[in-house]
Chains A and B, each alone.
Chain A
Amino acid sequence: RKEVEQDPGPFNVPEGATVAFNCTYSNSASQSFFWYRQDCRKEPKLLMSVYSSGNEDGRFTAQLNRASQYISLLIRDSKLSDSATYLCVVSVNYQLIWGAGTKLIIKP
């Protein structure tokens, strides 16, 4: 079992729709959680950190469920520019463990 698991997708979503991804992690001692975004042939960039109380940044909402060991990312009113791969990242003892990413394609 991978330490951080994501549905690879692709998720094909019409513009304006709401889409949600989950990411599960295996180590209950995980301390910090992040969502990164990676465009095709580009480097990953931080989208948002995930806090225990959940957090929102514009159209993006991240949630953490420690009991079930998963984090989620919700994108509302999706835009064409949201098309990318979304990588879930978990920190354990200063080490970052990366998921393989979920590919999102927003269609007009």
Chain B
Amino acid sequence: EAGVVQSPRYKIIEKKQPVAFWCNPISGHNTLYWYLQNLGQGPELLIRYENEEAVDDSQLPKDRFSAERLKGVDSTLKIQPAELGDSAVYLCASSSLAGYNEQFFGPGTRLTVL
């Protein structure tokens, strides 16, 4: 069974440029998460989807971050414009039931903003 797929794996951009990340969850997983992880910290939730509905986006900086999961399967996370402080690893995860079941993570996208 294929795991969570993310692309790109690495991205280097200059500040003020836009960037987008893509995630394809495990087949059949209705819940999809986007996390941000800084070095030495745990993952911080940005947004959680149940199918195509964003049910928790309280931690998403909506002035520059946006996300979508139009058909309830794969998802994109966008930053526009990127700032130096956005440099981090962006992790996508999926699970079959929010909050109670194991989350499966993709390999992440390591973003560097110069």
Contact = CB atoms under 8 A, between A and B. Distances in A.
Given A43-B91, A43-B107, A94 B98 contact: yes
Nearest to B44: A98
A45 B106 CA distance: 10
Interface residues of A, number: 22
Interface string A67-96: 000000000000000000001010101111
Contacts, number: 50
Contacts of A17: none
Contacts of B44: 98
A12 interface: no
B66 interface: no
Interface stretch (B14-22, B35-43, B72-80): B35-43
Residues of B contacting A: mostly:
loop
A20 interface: no
Given A42-B107, A43-B108, A95-B56, A100 B41 contact: yes
B103 to A, nearest CB: 7
A32 B103 CA distance: 13
A14 interface: no
B105 A44 contact: yes
B99 A31 contact: yes
Contacts of B113: none
A85 B91 CA distance: 16
Contacts of B43: 44, 87, 98
A93 B108 CA distance: 26
A100 B45 CA distance: 13
A46 B102 CA distance: 7
A43 B105 contact: yes
Nearest to B55: A94
Interface of A: 4, 8, 31-32, 34, 42-46, 49, 87, 89, 91, 93-96, 98-101
